[in-house]
């Protein structure tokens, strides 16, 4: 029998060490709860970084996998399948988009938007409209194009030169955006609520201003909703809190409830420039994964589900504000929906590590922001437990 230490030793011997993993092994999960190999129970307020929106082992996901497991698992994208077509329809009917391109992750979705934008500008007859504008605090992924749009220096620097022609403007600073976005810009990429960069919502006038500038210079506006989309920000789409629509939007993370899937949602104008052969992916939108994604999406996209997320958001915000008021280690709280950041005076990683001793899984977002991304299905009682465990953690760290 393989024990906890054997598993950790194998990982440290055979796996490329791109993560610093804590010395525990998760074995199973149920609802908002995770269990390790020693039988310890943790309240999962990270949701696998915004992936397990329906928590662990949700009936909707288990049943969708069971029902489709004996059907087609994979067939090439050279052929039609029903789940692929139906999921695309569902996503378009519920959003600004006219068409969808499926892929397998968030970085790949963002990578795709860069190709759409470059091709769109070229089709308009521009040969020099190749610039992309991204923002400070952004995170768009780890592949070379998406990484070029990611602000964090330590993620970029070892791999330079990255894809060229990306310029950064200050997030939430419209004057700076005005100066940076020019006729040379083919696309502007922004998270409506920045996740990794510190859980920072965009100001409404900022997103509205970006829309206006993009219209002025003929650039496509891309919303990266990989983290804040699909109910996480309290509305189905993060942009719905803003009264602004993009030309393209990227999704991944919770889209297939824990199975790997990404998507680029686009207007007809952006879609029309892409011809057969311009972009492709072997696995993307396969029948099993698309069936599961459809079940997850139609579960989240219900008025009562989203109203419940909103109600829990208000409740959690109140509890977190009270916690900040009582705790010298915390200086502020910001976020939306069930996506919250607590600003701390000490490294957030210390709080996250201590939280595990209190049976709580939470995340960092930047050096001094503790990030909470509980499953959207968390109950009010479980939110109380989350705050209780957080309070106990802060007391022991303090």
Ligand X SMILES: Cc1ncc(COP(=O)(O)O)c(C=O)c1O
Query: Is 320 within 8 Å of 387 (Cβ atoms)?
Result: yes
Please report how many Cα atoms fall inside a 13 Å half-sphere around the Cα of residue 214, on the Cβ side. Answer: 27
Cβ atoms of 344 and 369 within 8 Å: the answer is yes
- Closer by beta carbon to ligand X, 329 or else 365: 365
Choosing from 107, 113, 180, 327, the residue that interacts with ligand X (CB under 6 A) is 107
- Which of 121, 181, 189, 191 binds ligand X (CB under 6 A)? It is 191
Using CB under 6 A, which residues numbered 248 to 307 contact ligand X? 252
Q: How far is the CB of 160 from ligand X (least distance, A)?
A: 19
For ligand X, the closer of residues 140 and 312 by Cβ is 140
Between 120 and 135, CB nearer to ligand X: 135
The Cβ-side half-sphere exposure at 251, using a 13 Å CA radius, reads 30
Cα–Cα separations (whole angstroms), residue 283 to 73, 96, 104, 213, 371 = 10, 26, 7, 36, 31
Q: Which is nearer to ligand X, 139 or 171 (CB)?
A: 139
Q: Which residues contact 65 (CB under 8 A, 6 or more apart)?
A: 288, 292
Kindly state the smallest distance separating residue 265's Cβ from ligand X, in Å. 14
What minimum distance in Å lies between the beta carbon of 196 and ligand X?
A: 5
Residue 52 lies near ligand X (rule: CB under 6 A):
no
Q: What is the smallest separation between the CB atom of 203 and ligand X, expressed in angstroms?
A: 18
If the CB atoms of residues 103 and 394 are measured against ligand X, the closer one turns out to be 103
Tell me: does residue 49 bind ligand X (CB under 6 A): yes
Q: What character string, x for contact with ligand X (CB under 6 A) and - otherwise, covers 145-174?
A: ------------------------------
Strand locations in 289-388 (E): 330-336, 339-344, 360-361, 363-364, 369-372
Q: According to CB under 6 A, which one of 46, 112, 195, 246 is a site residue for ligand X? A: 195
Across the beta sheet with 330-336, what order do the strands follow? 330-336, 339-344, 369-372, 363-364
Task: Give the residues across from 336 on adjacent strands.
Answer: 339
Write down the least CB distance from residue 153 to ligand X, Å.
Answer: 17
Q: For residue 215, give both structure tokens.
A: 């219209």
Contacting residue, 180, 200, 227, 235, with ligand X by CB under 6 A: 227
Sign for the CA dihedral angle at 301, 307, 313, 315 comes to negative
139 is a site residue for ligand X (CB under 6 A) = yes
Residue with tokens 């964090």: 152
- Run of H or E including 36: strand 33-36
CA atoms within 13 A on the CB side of 11: 16
If one asks whether residue 111 binds ligand X (CB under 6 A), the answer comes out as no
Q: Which is nearer to ligand X, 31 or 106 (CB)?
A: 106
CA distance 312 to 233: 12
Residue 106 binds ligand X (CB under 6 A): yes
Q: How many residues does the chain have?
A: 398
Q: Which of 95, 105, 254, 393 binds ligand X (CB under 6 A)?
A: 105
User: With respect to ligand X, which residue has the nearer C-beta, 44 or 191?
Assistant: 191
Q: Segment contacting ligand X (CB under 6 A): 25-33, 102-110, 268-276, 317-325?
A: 102-110
Residue 62 CB, shortest distance to ligand X, in Å, is 23
Candidates 63-71, 134-142, 166-174, 271-279 — which segment interacts with ligand X by CB under 6 A? 134-142
Cα atoms in the 13 Å half-sphere on the side-chain side of 303: 0
224 part of the interface to ligand X, by CB under 6 A: yes
Q: Nearest to residue 300, comparing CAs of 106, 91, 28, 30?
A: 91
| 200-201/248-251 β-pairing | unpaired
Does 141 contact ligand X by CB under 6 A? yes
* CB-nearer residue toward ligand X: 151 or 390: 151
Which CB sits closer to ligand X, 185 or 250? 250
Tell me phi and psi for residue 133, to 5 degrees.
Answer: -110, 125
Nearest-10 crossing angle of helices 380-397, 303-326: 30
Contact between residue 353 and residue 319 where contact means Cβ atoms under 8 Å apart: no
Binding region for ligand X (CB under 6 A) out of 4-12, 92-100, 219-227, 290-298: 219-227
Which residue has the closest beta carbon to ligand X? 106
Q: Which residues bind ligand X (CB under 6 A)?
A: 49, 105-107, 110, 139-141, 191, 195-196, 224, 226-227, 252
């Amino acid at each position: 029998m393989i024990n906890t230490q054997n598993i950790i030793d194998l990982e440290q011997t055979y796996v490329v060490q791109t993560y610093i993993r804590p010395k525990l092994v998760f074995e199973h999960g149920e609802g908002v709860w995770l269990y390790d190999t020693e039988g310890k129970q943790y309240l999962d307020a990270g949701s696998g970084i915004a992936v397990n929106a329906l928590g662990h082992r949700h009936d909707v996901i288990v049943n969708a996998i069971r029902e489709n497991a004996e059907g087609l698992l994979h067939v090439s994208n050279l052929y039609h399948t029903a789940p692929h077509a139906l999921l695309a329809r569902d996503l378009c009917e519920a959003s600004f988009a006219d068409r969808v391109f499926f892929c397998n992750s968030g970085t790949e979705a963002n990578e795709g938007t860069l190709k759409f934008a470059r091709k769109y500008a070229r089709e308009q007859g521009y040969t020099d409209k190749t610039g992309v504008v991204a923002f400070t605090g952004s995170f768009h992924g780890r592949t070379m194009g998406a990484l070029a749009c990611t602000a964090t220096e330590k993620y970029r620097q070892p791999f330079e030169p990255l894809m060229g022609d990306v310029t950064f403007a200050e997030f939430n600073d419209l004057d700076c955006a005005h100066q940076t976005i020019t006729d040379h810009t083919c696309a502007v990429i922004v998270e409506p609520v920045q996740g990794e960069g510190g859980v920072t919502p965009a100001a409404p006038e900022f997103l509205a201003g970006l829309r206006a500038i993009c219209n002025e210079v003929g650039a496509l506006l891309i919303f990266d909703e990989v983290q804040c989309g699909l109910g996480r920000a309290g509305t189905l789409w993060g942009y719905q809190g803003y009264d602004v629509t993009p030309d393209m939007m990227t999704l991944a993370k919770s889209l297939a409830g824990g199975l790997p899937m990404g998507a680029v949602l686009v207007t007809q104008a952006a879609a029309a420039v892409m011809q057969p052969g311009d972009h492709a992916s072997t696995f993307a939108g396969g029948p099993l994964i698309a069936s599961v994604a459809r079940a997850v999406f139609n579960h989240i996209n219900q008025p009562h589900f989203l109203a419940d997320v909103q109600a829990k958001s208000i409740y959690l915000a109140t509890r977190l504000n009270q916690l900040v008021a009582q705790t010298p280690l915390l200086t502020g709280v910001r976020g939306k929906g069930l996506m919250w950041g607590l600003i701390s005076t000490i490294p957030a990683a210390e709080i996250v590590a201590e939280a595990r001793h209190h049976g709580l899984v939470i995340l960092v977002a930047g050096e001094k922001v503790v990030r909470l991304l509980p499953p959207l299905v968390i109950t009010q009682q479980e939110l109380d437990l989350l705050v209780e465990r957080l309070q106990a953690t802060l007391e022991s760290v303090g």
